[in-house]
Amino acid sequence: MIEVEVKAHAPQDKGALEEKLVEIGARRVGEEFQEDVYFNAPHRDFAQTDEALRIRKVTDESSEKIFITYKGAKMDEVSKTRKEIEVGVEDSHKVADIFQNLSFRPVATVRKNRTIYSLKDLVITLDEVQKVGSFVEIEKEIEEGNDTQEALDEIFATYSKIGIEDGFERRSYLELMEI
Amino acid sequence: MIEVEVKAHAPQDKGALEEKLVEIGARRVGEEFQEDVYFNAPHRDFAQTDEALRIRKVTDESSEKIFITYKGAKMDEVSKTRKEIEVGVEDSHKVADIFQNLSFRPVATVRKNRTIYSLKDLVITLDEVQKVGSFVEIEKEIEEGNDTQEALDEIFATYSKIGIEDGFERRSYLELMEI
């Protein structure tokens, strides 16, 4: 699966932004806390190859879910479009233990509150990232091999509708945290 | 967790062996089909380091379960005692895809029918391994840092009770398949 994704700095007035999202037909899906532990590889430097490997713990009111996520290098110059593979696992400590026995090293932990909206086949998230700041992300998943431009056009048109025309950010939260 | 484990070639008469197991108090837990895909690492050769990384798919009458398992090097000269970390995952293809994107390569697939018996804190399994043969394994899990000798004594005493005094095998099914 390819994740076509564009991130922007959030405007100051979060309330007004959420109102606009509802106006254009977005549906509030929920809110969750995410804790991502990023690992680097022993045989290549993911900061150089632009890959990512993480264990994500997602907590909401009713449950805790754990995922392993691999992200490939970004595929264009304007967005964060990249290959993404995510799989649910039953225990984060055991996965971390396996990674470390394979000589992968935990390099950083990113914690955020994420409010999720859905608009047709787009997912729009408002993120409050600890030590980094507030961001809006709009994302669409497409099959590998499909053209990403159509999805990008749809994403930027949606940004425009909610009044965001600049302040786009290609760097990951991990990269922003390390500045 | 440390897996203290000894494997032996199974005697010809499997029926007689199962009768002996029941005589000494073992309880038949069930039967399952296991398919293990083993991976090698890009940065060291697990055949040299005596480690293993696999995706196991376990199928029985009612369910299919998937696990990632890491095994460390064997810790003594007589048994297959080693560190083992195993975690349940929701999808084998996605895990294989992540491993391959991290440059781990699938090297072999081991398929077997496993009949499982339980005897106090021992697990006794009768394995029919495709292309390899028939084996008995007796295994006990102990906490890391604990002495393995007591567990080994218990395991060899149990082998003795079911009439197996030789034919022990330290090589893994993966190694035996590659001969």
User: How do residues A26-37 score in pLDDT, each as one tens digit?
Assistant: 999 999 999 999
* Interchain contact, B85 vs A101, CB within 8 Å: yes
Q: Is A164 helix (H, G, I), strand (E, B) or coil?
A: coil
Which two three-digit tokens encode residue A42? 């022993």
Q: Tell me, yes or no, if the pTM score tops 0.80.
A: yes
**Which residues of chain B lie closer than 8 angstroms to A43, CB-CB?**
41-43, 103
CA distances from B175 to A124, B15, B41, B102, B167 (A): 50, 28, 16, 24, 16
> Nearest CA to CA, how far is A165 from chain B (Å)?
35
Give just the sign of the alpha carbon dihedral A79, A82, A85, A89.
Answer: negative
* Interchain contact, B89 vs A88, CB within 8 Å: yes
Characterize the bridge pairing of strands B133-142 and B2-9: antiparallel
Using a pLDDT cut of 90, give the percent of chain B over it.
83
State the pLDDT at residue B120: 94
State the pLDDT at residue B66: 98
* Average pLDDT, 10 consecutive residues per value, chain B (179 residues): 92 94 97 97 95 97 96 82 93 98 97 97 97 96 88 96 94 85
pLDDT tens digit sequence for A108-141: 999 999 999 999 999 999 999 999 999 999 999 9
Which one is the CATH code of A2-176: 2.40.320.10, 2.40.50.140, 3.30.930.10, 1.20.1630.10?
A: 2.40.320.10
Q: How far apart are CA B167 and CA A150, in angstroms?
A: 65
Residue A149 has φ and ψ, to the nearest 5°, of -65, -40
Q: How far apart are CA B9 and CA B12, in angstroms?
A: 9
State the pLDDT at residue A179: 64
Minimal CA–CA distance to A156: which of A73, A79, A76, A77?
A79
If you average pLDDT over every residue of chain A, what do you get?
94
Among chain B, residues having any CB pair with chain A shorter than 8 Å are: 41-44, 51, 53, 68, 70, 72, 83, 85-91, 94-95, 97-98, 101-103
pLDDT tens digit sequence for A137-167: 999 999 988 888 999 999 999 999 999 999 9
Does the pLDDT of residue A78 top 80, yes or no? Answer: no
Q: Is B111 helix (H, G, I), strand (E, B) or coil?
A: strand
* Interchain contact, B101 vs A85, CB within 8 Å: yes
Does the pLDDT of residue A77 top 80, yes or no? Answer: no
